[in-house]
Amino acid sequence: MPVEIKFNSKDKNFIEWLGTIKPFQKLDKKELKAIGKILKKYEFEPDEIVIREGEMGSTAYIVAEGQFTLEIMERLIKSFIPTDFFGEIALIDTRPRMGTVRAMTRGSLLMLDGKDLEKEGVVPVQAAMKLYHAFARMVASYMRETSGLYNEMDVLLIQDGGCAPGYNPVTAFLTEHLEKAGRKVYISAEGFKSVVSNHTQDYRRLIHNPDLYRELEQVPGVIFAPPLREARGADFRTERYPEFKEEKNQQMAAANIIARQIKVLVGIGGNGTFAGIKGLSKLLPETIQIFFIPVTIDSDIFGTDCIGEYTGVEVGAEKIRSYMADARTHKRFYFIEMMGARGGYHALHSCLGAGAHLAVLPSSNHDLARIITAIQQRDSAVIVVAEGYKQKERQEQKYTGNAAEFFRDELLASGLKPHRRIVCEGYSRDIRGAAPNNLDIMLAQRMARKLTSMVQSGQSKKMPAVLSGRESSIDFDDIRTDNSVESGLASLANRFG
């Protein structure tokens, strides 16, 4: 708990120091002394919370000693040092705190409670008016900067589709490389949906340079990008937006992009996001440079490694290993549904990495009789089934189970008489939220750098690609989104023989 400590609010040096701090710079010495009387000083130990994100508050703080940090959504955003003033919005609008402030070192804060400013006879009316005018100017400046900041946007990033490890890292690295190249980077708050909606709050300004961030941090929507480098999830996407397939919405988005004078448009995601960006590219003038970066666990963009696929396989293989250990221990047969709607890349490579007994892919046509014979001769096994296995057939049959259950039922209908318990596990979505591993983070850096060089050289309608360690680019017209798997690898993932 913070400890209140006494201090001499009448001290001459203190009054002079107080007058240097916003928003007290317009107050005379008499008014500063009045403010000094209502200030309270607290000492904080390292890691002690000052204010917590989401809680209500009516107090602002001045850093007297030590260092304090601001965290938003568990990310370190900035540090406060002596003479810094924070929490000022709470003095004029009691609302949930936008972030968490904690002590980085042992330090002390002067607390100003907005309720004390309103007590009659405590603070001179003239001094209170000056303060509230100062607060109003600060809020007005936030609004002016917000309005103007998004009227004209240079580079706009759009993320969409299912979550995958690497969305946030590539966003951070694009911000870094493009900003160093002299560009200003923005991102839609919720993918294509935000571009169609097109309100100011539908966009965010991403900043890499800490000095520039300190100048604009008070503007709503301004985000410090470096903490995204290793962050899980995708902070700026929508849970899919099928309405964007409608021509009227694409035309509206194109008109909004033109109106905001966007010069570079970058789509980030899988095959659905690429379809949206390619559709937009046909409605936009040639003066707007357009690019795409693949982030997809199932590697459904042909001709390049895709950000997210390395983490996906690593985490997927580890999950399979756990099932294999349980299967051996309890003598069970596991049928596990895994990602793989078309080619089945994720299911196949996870199966191979873990050494599971069989991978059943969307294109698989296994001899069920041989598989049944192999199962009957074993006490345990783990079979990986891609989510896209016989998807059309399942839909036609109105089958309500998952792909793993469908394959199990095929075996049962073909004569399988299980002598051990069969357990079917549905697709596990926690893989989407896995922490991106080093390979995906490096791939994100390389693609961000490559895209920046393409922007600088005036290219457009291309995707940076990295394959077998070599960097290149692929024209939009040559991008394939039906990535298949090698037949040799598919046969390798059949340990039943």
Average pLDDT over residues 175-187: 97
Instruction: Determine the average pLDDT of the residues in 418-436.
Output: 91
Residue 243 sits in the same domain as residue 360 = no
Residues 101 and 11 grouped into a single domain: yes
Assigned domain for 139 exists = no
In a domain, 145, yes or no: no
CATH number for position 85: 2.60.120.10
Q: Please tell me the predicted confidence (pLDDT) of residue 75.
A: 66
Higher-pLDDT residue of 420 and 119 is: 420
Q: What is the pLDDT of residue 145?
A: 54
Per the structure, the count of domains in the chain is: 3
| Pair 274, 337 in one domain | no
| 162 or 244, higher pLDDT | 244
In angstroms, how far is the first alpha carbon of the chain from the final one?
66
**Which range has the worst mean pLDDT, 47-61, 246-260, 482-496?**
482-496
In the three-class reduction of DSSP (H, G, I as helix; E, B as strand; rest coil), residue 111 is classed as strand
Q: Can you give the pLDDT at residue 497?
A: 66
Question: Is residue 467 located within the same domain as residue 428?
Answer: no
Is the pLDDT assigned to residue 147 strictly greater than 80?
Answer: no
Residues 277 and 327 in one domain: no
Query: Average of pLDDT values for 465-478?
Result: 94
DSSP string, 150-212: TTS-SEEEEE-SS--TTHHHHHHHHHHHHHHTT--EEEETTHHHHHHH--GGGEEEEE--HHH
Closest CA to 258 of 282, 279, 277, 284: 284
Cβ-based burial of 103 (10 A; exposed 0-12, middle 13-18, buried ≥19) = buried
| Within-domain flag for 495 | no
Q: What percent of the chain has pLDDT over 70?
A: 96
Answer yes or no: is pLDDT of 92 > 70: yes
28 has a pLDDT exceeding 70: yes
Same domain, 344 and 397: yes
Task: Return the CA Rg of the chain.
Answer: 29
Instruction: State residue 390 phi and psi, 5-degree precision.
Output: 45, 45
Task: With beta carbons less than 8 A apart as the criterion, state whether 436 and 443 touch.
Answer: no
* Average confidence score pLDDT of the chain: 90
What pLDDT is attached to residue 459?
A: 97
Distance CA 299, CA 340 (A): 9
What predicted TM-score, i.e. pTM, was given to this entire model? 0.73
Specify the pLDDT at position 439.
Answer: 96
Instruction: Work out the pLDDT band at 128, boundaries 50, 70, 90.
Output: confident
Instruction: Kindly state whether residue 32 falls inside one of the protein's structural domains.
Output: yes
Do 164 and 290 lie in one domain? The reply is yes
Domain assignment of residue 138, yes or no: no
Q: For residue 334, what pLDDT is reported?
A: 96
Task: Specify if 294 maps to a domain.
Answer: yes
Instruction: Clarify whether residues 237 and 350 are in a common domain.
Output: no
Tell me the per-residue pLDDT of 66-81, one tens digit each, with 9 for 90 and over: 999 998 756 677 899 9
Domain contains 188: yes
Pairing of strands 358-360, 381-386: parallel
Cα–Cα distance for residue pair 265/155, rounded to 1 Å: 6
Boundary of a domain, candidates 399, 433, 467: 433
Instruction: Please check whether residues 198 and 250 belong to one and the same domain.
Output: yes
Segment 153-169 mean pLDDT: 93
- The span from the CA of 113 to the CA of 117, in Å, is 7
Give the model's pLDDT for residue 484: 67
Same domain? For 338 and 360 the reply is yes
Asked whether residue 111 falls in the same domain as residue 163, the answer is no
For the segment 193-216, the average pLDDT, to the nearest whole number, is 89
Structural domain containing residue 245: 155-307+436-478
pLDDT in tens, 475-495: 999 998 876 677 678 888 888
165 and 281 housed in the same domain: yes
CATH number assigned to the domain comprising residue 174: 3.40.50.450
Would residue 485 count as lying in a domain? no
State pLDDT tens for residues 32-54. Answer: 999 999 999 999 999 999 999 88
Above 60 in pLDDT, residue 15? yes
